[in-house]
């Protein structure tokens, strides 16, 4: 994957995230109806996520909100810089997914003060994931790609010490 393609993919993820959130809020009116059952194991469920993954670090005031925006923006900047230096296509893909997802959630937090989540996979009362969005899924998949690459497909050291 060429670096430019990785940035284009990150922008595509960002756009997909924002379009689905727009559709949920303005077409499906999920904020008002709160939940739409799609199939037995999957709903659209409206959640205002004021924290980070897994409900950690809840930002209950403006200071917390802007600290989360700043921290996420710093991470996105580091990931964007890393993408300029990365040569492995799978790592570029993972980084692009993280960057696109981070940008989508930053925009939500700036606009609303929270991240809009609505994808709800469940099996009865068992929920293997918290309610999430396209950005969250992209970030999670991107991190998994990077971890798999780091642990199972890391390039051999060129200068091995005997």
- Prediction pTM value: 0.87
The tens digit of pLDDT for each residue in 8-55 reads: 999 999 999 999 999 999 999 999 999 999 999 999 999 999 877 656
Structure tokens at 111: 């606009």
Q: Are 97 and 142 in contact (CB under 8 A)?
A: yes
At 17, give phi and psi (nearest 5°).
-60, -50
pLDDT band at 155 (very low <50, low <70, confident <90, very high): low
Residues serving a catalytic function are 117, 136
Q: In 3D, which of 91, 101, 95 has the Cα closest to residue 132?
A: 101
Ordered strands of the 35-39 beta sheet: 35-39, 42-49, 115-121
């Amino acid at each position: 994957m060429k670096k430019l393609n990785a940035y284009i993919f990150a922008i595509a993820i960002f756009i997909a995230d924002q379009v689905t959130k727009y559709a949920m809020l303005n077409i499906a009116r999920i904020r008002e109806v709160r939940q739409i059952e799609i199939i037995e194991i999957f709903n659209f469920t409206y959640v205002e996520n004021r924290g980070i993954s897994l409900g950690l670090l809840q930002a209950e005031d403006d200071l917390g909100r802007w600290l989360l925006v700043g921290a996420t923006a710093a991470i996105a900047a580091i990931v964007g810089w890393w993408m300029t230096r990365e040569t492995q296509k799978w790592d570029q893909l993972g980084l692009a997914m993280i960057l696109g997802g981070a940008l989508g959630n930053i925009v939500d937090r700036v606009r609303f003060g929270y991240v809009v989540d609505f994808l709800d996979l469940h099996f009865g009362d068992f929920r293997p994931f918290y309610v999430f969005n396209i950005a969250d899924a992209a970030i999670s998949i991107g991190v998994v790609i990077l971890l798999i690459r780091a642990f199972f497909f890391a390039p051999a050291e060129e200068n091995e010490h005997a």
